[in-house]
């Protein structure tokens, strides 16, 4: 039995009849792992299956984008509230402005994105 896949793809085909490798596909060294992460594996040029950083980033990026999009209005609202005299908000208006600017840069052009441990930190 042989297994075939397209490089950087997740799909595999199983060839039980020895009918040959489909055009544009490569022979894999083994069947794609069947576990909780099955859909995360991609075929590598060397015939192995791997969960790549690119695959992980594509899964994490939407989560980080949603987080950033929910934080930006909070930062703006806190700046406004502080400027209007609210005293129960931690940090200064300037700190919240810097946070908002850091949030704007929290996207796929940032080398640390989408590592959630490196998110901009709100004033405290």
- Residue 83 has which token pair? 């400027």
* DSSP letter (8 states) at residue 88: S
Q: Kindly state whether residues 111 and 62 are assigned to the same domain.
A: yes
Q: Kindly state whether residues 37 and 58 are assigned to the same domain.
A: no
Give residues with Cβ within 8 angstroms of 84, minimum separation 6.
Answer: none
Q: Kindly state whether residues 61 and 82 are assigned to the same domain.
A: yes
Q: Can you give the residue range of the structural domain that contains 88?
A: 54-118
For residue 124, is it within any domain? Answer: no
What is the pLDDT, as a whole number, of residue 65?
98
pLDDT in tens, 24-70: 999 999 999 999 999 999 999 999 999 999 999 999 999 999 999 99
Q: What is the mean pLDDT of the chain?
A: 97
For the entire predicted model, the pTM comes to 0.74
In total, how many domains does the chain have? Answer: 2
Q: Kindly state whether residues 110 and 85 are assigned to the same domain.
A: yes
Question: What are residue 49's DSSP bridge partners?
Answer: 43
């Amino acid at each position: 039995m042989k297994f075939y896949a397209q490089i950087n793809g997740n799909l595999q085909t199983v060839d039980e009849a020895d009918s040959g490798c489909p055009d544009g596909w490569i022979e894999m060294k083994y069947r794609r792992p069947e576990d909780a992460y099955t859909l995360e594996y991609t075929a590598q040029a060397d015939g192995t299956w791997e969960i790549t950083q690119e695959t992980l980033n594509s899964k994490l990026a939407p989560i980080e984008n949603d987080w950033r999009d929910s934080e930006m209005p909070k930062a703006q609202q806190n700046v406004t509230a502080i400027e209007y005299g609210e005293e129960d908000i931690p940090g200064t208006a300037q700190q919240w402005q810097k946070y908002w600017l850091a949030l704007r840069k929290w996207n796929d052009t940032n080398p640390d994105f989408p590592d959630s441990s490196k998110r901009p930190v709100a004033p405290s």
